[in-house]
Amino acid sequence: MFKRIAAGSAVGSLVIALAGLILVSIPGLALSRMWPVTAVWCFVPFAWGIWALITPRAWLPERLPYWGAILGFLGGTVGAFVLDMPSRILEVTVSFAGRLLAVAVMTVVYYFLWMLVRAAYLSLLPAQAPKEISAAGPQLKKAA
């Protein structure tokens, strides 16, 4: 259980740090408009850890990227439609199609980011020989 929380939180923290560096390095970006994003980012490592914790055991570790894509879809939907983040940040009205595109992109990005969570989770498991890992699907599920 702790391994799932640690893997999700660690990758979430690294992603937020990298995104913060990217934002700071964009010339002409008014950081005063970015406060809603940075406020939400404070909770990302916690949310990723909890999301990893509630992963169905049958999905570990093979389907963690799919589980992350579900989180990306949910987060993208809330960010694009409920909180209206694209309009708040860009200070222009973003079309429905543009918001749908943002949700689709976030879902795909989260899929790939959760591949890192899967790698982090697998690195926290007890060391096994590589052929044992590939042949021990049910045993890995028991270790979770």
Give the pLDDT confidence of 6-23 residue by residue, as tens digits. Answer: 999 999 999 999 988 888
Q: In the structure, what pLDDT confidence band is assigned to residue 142 with cuts at 50, 70 and 90?
A: low
Q: 């200070």: which residue's tokens?
A: 91
Q: Does residue 92 sit in helix, strand or coil?
A: coil
The more confident residue out of 70 and 87 is 70
Q: In the structure, what pLDDT confidence band is assigned to residue 58 with cuts at 50, 70 and 90?
A: very high
Q: Domains of the chain: which residue ranges?
A: 2-143
How far is residue 123's CA from residue 55's CA, in Å, rounded to a whole number?
A: 17
B/e letters for 96-110, b = 16+ CB within 10 Å, e = fewer, are eeebeebbeebbeeb
The DSSP secondary-structure symbol of 125 reads: S
Cα 95 to Cα 18, 84, 90, 92, distances in angstroms: 28, 11, 12, 10
